[in-house]
């Protein structure tokens, strides 16, 4: 059998070494976003992490974070967050911890957990009004296990489980809309390549109480197949082509926070990534390119 060109992250040379000998890929867009988010949140945090690439950030007893960290099974991070929140509330109520030492409970998961495996636990947590911030780094696949498709994979992307023909036949789920339908306190999309927009959204989310979401699109050189030096440029192209709208939901209203006019053609974004190479070689797939462009145009049409 032909070897998949999608390799497990653990098989790659260690380019970014952390405590415990864990390795992250160079140019990881998820790591960039989390770094920027942590800059705003600071150390008074408990990260409740579902299994994924970022789990490798924290191998007991090492972690690059100054706050606390809890690992959970893939589907259970919001349930873990409920337990941590309840414990913190009890400590404050029983005066065993001063209120000023209270911590922000942050769920940190990839898209596999956020869009799929953990969605039911998330829905229940929002319904209960749990006071937590959900951070999803969305690299559009199960990256840690070799980039299998997830509910976040875009149409036509090649993945380890859609490695031939037109690529992934499904369409990326709209997690922002799913959250908005729950009427949370706050929800936003973001990307590490737009750090000011991201920081403003994290600040806003930090200062609210209740269920809050930040989804950061996370260009993944390993799974999307591009050079690690291009992470920021590809992230900017996702926004400038309109593929990744930057927006927020507050008080029942959705507003875009960065609008690029005119938008660049989507193929400027697609052709930089090996996962879409079959749309251009050995010949251009005009029908599929037109379909992808039409879907992006249809999204933006009501706002123009």
Ligand X SMILES: Cc1ncc(C[n+]2csc(CCOP(=O)(O)OP(=O)(O)O)c2C)c(N)n1
Instruction: Name the binder of 222 from ligand X, Mg ion, ligand SF4, none, CB < 5-8 A by kind.
Output: ligand SF4
Q: For residue 42, what are its two tokens? A: 């600071």
Return the number of the residue (34 or 88) whose C-beta is nearest ligand X: 34
Q: Which is nearer to ligand X, 31 or 130 (CB)?
A: 31
221 binds, among Mg ion, ligand SF4, ligand X, none (CB under 5 to 8 A by kind): ligand SF4
Q: Which is nearer to Mg ion, 131 or 223 (CB)?
A: 223
Using a 10 angstrom Cβ sphere, with 0-12 exposed, 13-18 middle and 19 or more buried, the burial of residue 125 is buried
Q: Cβ-closest residue to ligand X?
A: 110
- Rule CB under 6 A: say whether 205 interacts with ligand X: no
- CA atoms of 202 and 97, how far apart (whole Å): 26
Task: Name which of ligand SF4, ligand X, Mg ion, none residue 216 binds, using a CB cut-off of 5 to 8 Å depending on partner kind.
Answer: none
Q: Which stretch binds ligand X (CB under 6 A): 21-29, 111-119, 185-193, 246-254?
A: 111-119
Residues in the chain: 304
**DSSP state, residue 154:** P
- Interface pattern 67-86 for ligand X (x via CB under 6 A): ------xx------------
Candidate segments 137-145, 250-258, 279-287, 292-300, binder of Mg ion by CB under 5 A: 137-145
Site membership for Mg ion, residue 146 (CB under 5 A): no
Alpha helices in the chain (DSSP H): 29-41, 77-93, 111, 119-127, 175-181, 195-206, 231-240, 267-270, 286-300
Q: Which is nearer to ligand SF4, 146 or 167 (CB)?
A: 146
Residues 144-203 that bind ligand X (CB under 6 A): 144-145, 150
Give dist(CA 2, CA 253) in Å, integer. 49
139 near ligand X, rule: CB under 6 A = yes
Structure tokens at 148: 């299998």
Task: Label residue 13 exposed, middle or buried (CB < 10 Å: 0-12, 13-18, 19+).
Answer: exposed
CB of 302 to ligand SF4, least distance (A): 32
Structure tokens given for 269: 């974004």
For residue 265, the minimal CB distance to ligand X (Å) is 28
**Cis peptide bond N-terminal to 282, omega within 30:** yes
Site residues for ligand SF4 per CB under 6 A: 9, 24-25, 28, 30-31, 53, 139, 143, 218, 220-223
Q: 58 or 144, CB closer to ligand X?
A: 144
Q: For 116-145, give the DSSP string.
A: IITHHHHHHHHHTT--EEEEEEE-SSBTTT
State the binding partner of 231 from Mg ion, ligand SF4, ligand X, none, CB within 5 to 8 A by kind.
Answer: none
| Dist. CA 104–CA 9, nearest whole Å | 30
Nearest in space to 119 (alpha carbons), one of 74, 58, 87? 74
Binding pattern for the stretch 251-280 against Mg ion, x by CB under 5 A and - elsewhere: ------------------------------
- Looking at the Cβ atoms of 153 and 293, the one nearer to ligand SF4 is 153
d(CA 168, CA 285): 15
How far is it, in rounded angstroms, from Cα 271 to Cα 256? 26
Residues that bind ligand X (rule: CB under 6 A) add up to a total of 17
Token pair 């993945």 is found at 159
Binding footprint of ligand X on the chain (CB under 6 A): 51-54, 73-74, 109-113, 139, 142-145, 150
């Amino acid at each position: 059998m032909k070897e998949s060109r999608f390799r497990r992250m653990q098989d790659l040379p260690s380019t970014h070494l952390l405590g415990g000998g864990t390795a992250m890929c160079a140019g990881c867009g998820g790591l960039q976003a989390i770094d920027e988010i942590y800059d705003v949140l600071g150390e008074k945090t408990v990260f409740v992490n579902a299994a994924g690439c970022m789990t490798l950030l924290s191998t007991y007893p090492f972690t690059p974070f100054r706050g606390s960290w809890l690992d959970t099974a893939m589907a259970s991070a919001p349930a873990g967050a409920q337990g941590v929140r309840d414990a913190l509330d009890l400590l404050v109520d029983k005066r065993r911890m001063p209120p000023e030492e209270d911590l922000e409970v942050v769920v940190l998961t990839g898209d596999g957990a956020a869009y799929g495996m953990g969605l039911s636990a998330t829905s229940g947590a929002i319904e209960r009004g749990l006071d937590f911030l959900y951070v999803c780094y969305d690299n559009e696949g199960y990256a840690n296990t070799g980039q299998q498709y997830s509910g976040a994979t875009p149409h036509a992307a090649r993945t380890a489980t859609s490695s031939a023909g037109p690529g992934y036949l499904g369409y990326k789920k709209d997690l922002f809309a799913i959250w908005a339908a729950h009427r949370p306190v706050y929800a936003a999309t973001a990307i590490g390549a737009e750090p000011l927009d991201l920081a403003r959204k994290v600040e806003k989310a930090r200062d609210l109480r209740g269920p809050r979401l930040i989804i950061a699109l996370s260009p993944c050189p390993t799974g999307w197949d591009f050079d690690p030096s291009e992470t920021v440029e590809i992230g900017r192209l996702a926004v400038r082509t309109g593929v990744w709208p930057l927006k927020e939901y507050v008080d029942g209203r959705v507003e875009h926070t960065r609008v690029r006019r005119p938008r660049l053609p989507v193929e400027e974004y697609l052709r930089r990534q090996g996962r879409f190479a079959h749309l251009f070689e050995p010949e251009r797939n005009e029908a599929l390119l037109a379909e992808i462009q039409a879907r992006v145009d249809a999204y933006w049409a009501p706002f123009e």
